[in-house]
Amino acid sequence: MALKKYKPTTPGQRFKVISTYDEITADVPEKSLLAPSRKSGGRNNEGKMTMRYLGGGHKQMYRIIDFKREKEDIPALVKTIEYDPNRTSRIALVVYKDGEKRYIVAPHGLKVGQTILSGKGVPPEIGNTLYLSEIPFGTVVHNVELRPGQGAKLVRSAGSHAQLMSRDGKFAILKMPSGETRMILQTCKATVGMVSNIDHNLESFGKAGRTRWLGRRPRNRGVAMNPVDHPMGGGEGKASGGHPRTRKGVPAKGYKTRARKKQSNKYIVERRKK
């Protein structure tokens, strides 16, 4: 997971810092696990723009990822570690003993030729998926389910991990990457280890064009607009814009937008730090 810094032979390479991609072992994805991925450009079914600053970008195919890991007690051999344009982490192609191929989110330290397992009574080793009731305290996990059998919803981005702190009744208490401490049912699954590509946050694109390749268009600031377009617009010269708020007038930077009576509030033991 090393990074590569370029010599400034062009302006775009002066601040460019990207991954060396040393861990990747295959250039061509598994064809049976690909699905078409259509871009909307931020338009709805009427062709009207509902999301600003989206559009363009390189054509991509979606890699079908196994977030459920429901093939229990069947060993799977790690065949390749691959790049996925749809996520920040790396993915691994695994081949089960019955011949079925699947993609999983690759944990940090997973190597080609390794065997992984899922289910009850499985050793808590990197890449293995266990129920939260069987994972030892203090273990670092990722791909955490929110509801039993739903598939992993939490802790999936590059370099992220949660930690199992304790158990209370039918709940396991996890410390999430945000710092939040949360209760999750012990019948939910999680995968041991942290997500791969841990240096992702240190990468620098070096030029605006690289962001355009990802399908993101330039975002203009509210203070640079007119009063008719944004609450922070207008004023003589380079006015600061007053209180920071969104285009619809909702205060930003510290204003809590979470519903006070949200049903899942009772599962949060400690909120994330400000």
CB atoms < 10 A from the CB of 189, how many?
26
| In the chain, domain spans | 3-41+53-201+264-270
pLDDT score for 273? 81
Q: Residue 25's Cα: distance from chain center in Å?
A: 22
Measured distance CA(235)–CA(241) in Å, rounded: 8
pLDDT tens per residue, range 67-111 = 999 999 999 999 999 999 999 999 999 999 999 999 999 999 999
Measured distance CA(197)–CA(161) in Å, rounded: 12
Residue 266 scores a pLDDT above 90: yes
pLDDT score for 147? 96
| Domain 3-41+53-201+264-270, CATH homologous superfamily name and number | Nucleic acid-binding proteins (2.40.50.140)
Residue 254 scores a pLDDT above 70: yes
DSSP labels for the chain? Answer: --EEE---SSGGGTT-EEE--TT---SS--GGGEEE----TTB-TTS-B-STTB------EEE-B--S---TT--EEEEEEE--TTSSS-EEEEEETTS-EEEEEPBTT--TT-EE-BSTT----TT-EEETTTSPTT-EEESEESSTTS-EEES-STT--EEEEEEETTEEEEE-TTS-EEEEETTSEEEES-BS-TTGGG-B--SHHHHHHTTB-----GGGS-TTT-TT---SSS---SS-B-TTS-B-SS---S-TT-GGGGGEEEPPP-
Of 158, 241, 144, 141, the residue nearest 196 (C-alpha)? 158
Mean pLDDT of 108-137: 97
Q: Say what percent of the chain tops pLDDT 70.
A: 99
pLDDT score for 1? 65
